[in-house]
């Protein structure tokens, strides 16, 4: 019972994503424009309350510009900031940018958005795109006036921690370091599975 309980605790933290993890193109926003992903609870079979820990943004590996983006957590319809949340300004790096939100105590029990606004004037940090399994949850525009990007999934993710209630059954990525800790114990019960991910050749486009 102790081993099983510990194994269940491993799965309390979830990384939600619609992209497949392989950059296939990129999109560079114009000044003061936004890129956003809407995270829909039903897509991940989520229920209960979850604390938002981290927002993730993948700057294209083909883009060398490093400029300031402003992160916003938006309400369920994407019209404005999540109540009590505070925008965070950061300077991008190439690859994954992880923005810590744990101190803001943002509790979600329904749909929410992760949105980034470019604040610069010259070279925009370009978000990586992926289109292997289009989900229709990526948008550009401004809060309250969004346009669905029906061609790509933006590589924007959210990491959440369960505060009780149902756990998701799909559409997430487990933190590998936590799984490694418990892998020897899980193996004893035949619970460790090996997942094989096949990456498609990258297609480069820009718009």
- pLDDT tens string 68-120: 899 999 999 999 999 999 999 999 999 999 999 999 999 999 999 999 998 87
Q: Which residues of 89-103 are buried (b: 16+ CB within 10 A; e: fewer)?
A: ebebebeebebebee
Cβ burial, residue 35 (10 Å; 0-12/13-18/19+): buried
The mean-pLDDT minimum among 78-82, 123-127, 137-141 falls in 123-127
Question: Quick one: pLDDT at residue 165?
Answer: 55
Q: What is the mean pLDDT of residues 137-147?
A: 94
What CATH class does 13-174 carry?
Answer: mainly beta
β-bridge partners, 14: 160
The position carrying tokens 């497949």 is 20
Q: What is the mean pLDDT of residues 139-166?
A: 91
pLDDT cut 90: percent of the chain above it: 58
Question: Rounded distance, CA 99 to CA 168, Å?
Answer: 23
- Mean per-residue pLDDT over the chain, rounded: 78
Q: What is the mean pLDDT of residues 110-132?
A: 89
- Residue 112 is encoded by which pair of tokens? 């929410």
Question: Quick one: pLDDT at residue 189?
Answer: 38
Q: For the chain, give every domain's residue range.
A: 13-174
pTM: 0.75
Question: Rounded distance, CA 143 to CA 131, Å?
Answer: 24
Band the pLDDT of 185: cuts 50, 70, 90.
very low
The mean-pLDDT minimum among 43-57, 100-114, 116-130 falls in 116-130
């Amino acid at each position: 019972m102790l081993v099983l309980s510990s194994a269940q605790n491993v799965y309390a933290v979830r990384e939600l994503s619609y992209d497949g993890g392989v950059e296939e193109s990129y999109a560079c926003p114009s000044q003061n424009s936004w890129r956003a992903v809407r995270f829909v609870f039903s897509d991940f079979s989520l229920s209960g309350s979850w604390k938002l820990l981290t927002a993730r943004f993948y700057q294209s590996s083909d883009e060398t510009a490093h400029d300031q983006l402003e992160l916003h957590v938006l309400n369920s319809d994407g019209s404005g900031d999540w109540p009590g949340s505070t925008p965070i300004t950061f300077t991008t790096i190439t690859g994954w940018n992880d923005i810590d939100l744990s101190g803001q105590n943002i509790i979600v029990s329904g749909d929410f958005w992760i949105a980034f606004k470019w604040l610069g004037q010259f070279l925009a940090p370009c978000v990586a795109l992926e289109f292997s399994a289009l989900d229709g949850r990526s948008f550009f525009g401004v809060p309250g006036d969004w346009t669905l990007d029906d061609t790509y999934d933006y590589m924007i993710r959210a990491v959440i921690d369960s505060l009780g209630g149902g756990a998701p059954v799909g559409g997430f990525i487990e933190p590998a370091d936590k799984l490694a800790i418990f892998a020897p114990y899980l193996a004893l019960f035949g619970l460790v599975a090996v997942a094989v991910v096949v990456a498609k050749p990258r297609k480069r486009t820009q718009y």
